[in-house]
């Protein structure tokens, strides 16, 4: 296989790069209910599949919000269910005009390759149209070359991921067409890219992501005329509580997920840094280490791995400029560690703010109890997603990924990681027939000066052309091995 493929990789890489540029030029910003245009990207992929003879189905829950699912049928000799390559086709916002004034070096929809740094610029380059281009190019090659597979290989190009409920994307498919995306293993986003720790190249592979919740906190005060000083102004009270949530920290919670992540990072650090880093897993030392030995950027990365978070995002209250309202409120975006429930997070919030504020008080005149000063209402929540790394089926996939990356990245290791945000893996993990193993693996190799976290959803989103091509081959070799590919 290796000798045959050596002459083919350049062809597949060129095909994938051309498709990625076409996808970037296709504006698929997600404006939620105001609209989206993923179907325009679906049309591009349809043309590629039609030319190669790859069978597919298009599902469009709402005009413009298209999904495409393609499948290459294997002969079943591997004894395993399908491998699914997932890529959402929508993007977050980027300016179509006056983009230079917003800091962009190149037109976000121009798909230009910068001659100086060798990067392809554009919205969606890493989130995550690169995975769509890599996957489609691989499926088309496999079909045209007549490569046999021991299991089914599925590609899902999805709408609406950038909205938390994914109403027209994978959530819709899970609820209405689960047959199309039933799989044993799903490769999704936020993993497989290179980063550097103490000058050593490593490749995170996501095996867990935090859950999320939207919580409404309401503060009771005293209303009145704005011309009169009022110590019980609920607007001021809610501001103080927002300050407390922002500058306070919920308690450290050690679990198998953050233990695997922290130990994986410690394994690549030199002594004594490695020993100090492992002490993050000792709750009595966690805050001491973060406050005194880590940089602010490092704290922003590692603190969410160790605790639930509760972040104020919206504040509201009165509707008249000359009137103090009787209540004010704020929306808290909470993120839950694997193994935690929304009740755990609510209790963490109460403990940080002060439990007595949530309790009714006796009326000094002997009347009915005075309602609590502060109340919490869980508006929506969803649990975290995590894989058991000791599960033989999961460890087999991780082993293939690790071996392939090490082969093509000078022996660089993979790091099992948890991401603090959420992806389509949440919905895949709720498949009604079979829960798949969900891993973040969409390979790109970055140079040390490009930080994935800075360009993800950021200005000057870009992918190194060489690193993208590297990812095509790495993804391809992993797919071939996991699908027991047969070359005539």
In 3D space, the residue among 36, 387, 436 whose CA is nearest the CA of residue 208 turns out to be: 387
**What is the rounded distance in angstroms from the CA atom of residue 289 to the CA atom of residue 26?**
46
Quick: pLDDT tens for 302-316. Answer: 889 999 999 999 999
In 3D space, the residue among 325, 28, 72 whose CA is nearest the CA of residue 161 turns out to be: 28
- Every domain of the chain and the residues it spans: 2-208+384-482, 211-382
For the chain, give the percent of residues with pLDDT over 70.
100
Quick: pLDDT tens for 57-95. Answer: 999 999 999 999 999 999 999 999 999 999 999 999 999
Quick: pLDDT tens for 233-284. Answer: 889 999 999 999 999 999 999 999 999 999 988 998 888 889 998 999 999 8
What pLDDT score was predicted for residue 104?
94
DSSP 105: S
Centre a 10 Å sphere on the Cβ of residue 287 and count the other Cβ atoms it contains. Answer: 17
What pLDDT score was predicted for residue 299?
83
Q: 139 and 72 in contact (C-beta within 8 Å)? A: yes
pLDDT at residue 393 above 90?
yes
Centre a 10 Å sphere on the Cβ of residue 101 and count the other Cβ atoms it contains. Answer: 8
For 168-235, give the DSSP string: TTHHHHHHH-GGGG--SEEEESS-SB-EEETTEEEEEEEEEE-EEEEEEEEEE---EETTS--TT-HH
For residues 107-132, give the mean pLDDT: 96
- In angstroms, how far is the first alpha carbon of the chain from the final one? 9
Q: Tokens for 6? A: 């050596």
Centre a 10 Å sphere on the Cβ of residue 11 and count the other Cβ atoms it contains. Answer: 12
* pLDDT band at residue 364 using 50, 70 and 90 as cut-offs: confident
pLDDT at residue 392 above 90?
yes
Which CATH number applies to 2-208+384-482? 3.40.630.10
- The CATH class, in words, for 211-382 is alpha beta
For residues 142-147, give the mean pLDDT: 96
pLDDT at residue 293 above 80?
yes
Q: 481 and 396 in contact (C-beta within 8 Å)? A: no
Q: Model's pTM, two decimal places? A: 0.91
What is the average pLDDT score of the chain?
Answer: 93
Q: For residue 328, give every residue at least 6 positions away whose Cβ sits within 8 Å of its Cβ, in sequence order, or none.
A: 218, 219, 221, 234, 235, 237, 238, 315, 316, 317, 318
Q: Tokens for 269? A: 């650090």
What values do phi and psi take at 39, rounded to 5?
Answer: -60, -30
Cα Rg of the chain (Å, integer): 25
| Strand blocks (E) in 344-403 | 374-382, 385-386
What pLDDT score was predicted for residue 197?
85
Exposure pattern of 195-209 as b/e (b: 16+ CB <10 Å)?
beeeeebbbbbbbbb
Q: 401 and 414 in contact (C-beta within 8 Å)? A: yes
In 3D space, the residue among 444, 483, 488 whose CA is nearest the CA of residue 464 turns out to be: 444
Torsion of CA 171, 172, 177, 181, to 10 degrees: -40
Beta bridge pairs of residue 148 = 486
What pLDDT score was predicted for residue 227?
83
């Amino acid at each position: 296989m290796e000798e045959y493929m050596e002459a083919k990789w350049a062809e597949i890489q060129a095909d994938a790069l051309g498709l990625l540029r076409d996808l970037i030029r296709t504006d698929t910003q997600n404006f939620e209910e105001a609209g989206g245009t993923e179907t325009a990207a679906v049309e591009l992929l349809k043309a590629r599949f039609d030319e190669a003879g790859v069978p597919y189905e298009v599902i469009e829950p709402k005009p413009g919000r298209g999904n495409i699912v393609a499948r290459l049928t294997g002969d079943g000799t591997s004894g395993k269910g399908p491998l699914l390559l997932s890529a959402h086709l929508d993007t977050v916002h980027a300016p179509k005009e006056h983009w230079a004034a917003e800091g962009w070096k190149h037109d976000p929809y121009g798909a230009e390759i910068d001659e100086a740094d060798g990067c392809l610029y554009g919205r969606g380059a890493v989130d995550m149209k690169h995975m769509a281009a890599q996957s489609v190019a691989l499926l088309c090659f496999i079909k045209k070359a007549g490569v046999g597979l021991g299991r089914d290989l599925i590609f899902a190009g999805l709408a609406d991921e950038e909205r938390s409920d994914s109403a027209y994307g994978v959530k819709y498919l899970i609820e209405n067409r689960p047959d199309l995306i039933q799989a044993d293993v799903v490769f999704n986003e936020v993993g497989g890219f290179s980063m550097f720790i103490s000058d050593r190249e490593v490749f995170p592979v996501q095996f867990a992501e935090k859950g999320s919740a939207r919580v409404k906190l309401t503060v009771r005060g005293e209303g009145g005329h704005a011309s009169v000083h009022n110590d019980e102004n609920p607007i001021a009270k809610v501001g103080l509580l927002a300050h407390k949530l922002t500058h306070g920290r919920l308690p450290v919670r050690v679990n198998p997920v953050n233990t695997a992540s922290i130990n994986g990072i410690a394994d690549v650090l030199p002594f004594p840094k490695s020993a100090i880093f492992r002490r993050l897993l000792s709750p009595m030392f966690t805050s001491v280490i973060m406050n005194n030995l880590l940089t602010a950027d490092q704290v922003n990365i590692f603190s969410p791995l160790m605790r639930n978070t509760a972040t104020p995002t919206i504040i509201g209250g009165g509707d008249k400029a000359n009137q103090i309202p009787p209540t004010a409120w704020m929306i808290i975006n909470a993120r839950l560690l694997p193994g935690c429930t929304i009740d755990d997070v609510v209790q963490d919030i109460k403990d940080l703010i002060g439990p007595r504020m949530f309790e009714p008080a006796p009326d000094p005149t002997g009347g009915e109890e005075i309602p609590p000063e502060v109340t919490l209402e869980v508006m929506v929540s969803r649990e975290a997603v995590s894989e058991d790394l000791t599960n033989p089926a999961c460890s087999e996939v991780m082993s293939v990924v690790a071996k392939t990356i090490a082969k093509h990245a000078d022996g660089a290791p993979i790091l099992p990681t948890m991401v603090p945000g959420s992806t389509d893996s949440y919905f895949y993990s709720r498949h009604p027939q079979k829960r798949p193993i969900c891993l973040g693996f969409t390979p790109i190799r970055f140079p040390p000066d490009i930080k994935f976290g800075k360009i993800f959803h950021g200005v000057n989103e870009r992918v190194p052309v060489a690193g993208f091509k590297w990812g095509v081959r790495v993804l391809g070799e992993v797919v071939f091995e996991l699908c027991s590919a047969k070359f005539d």
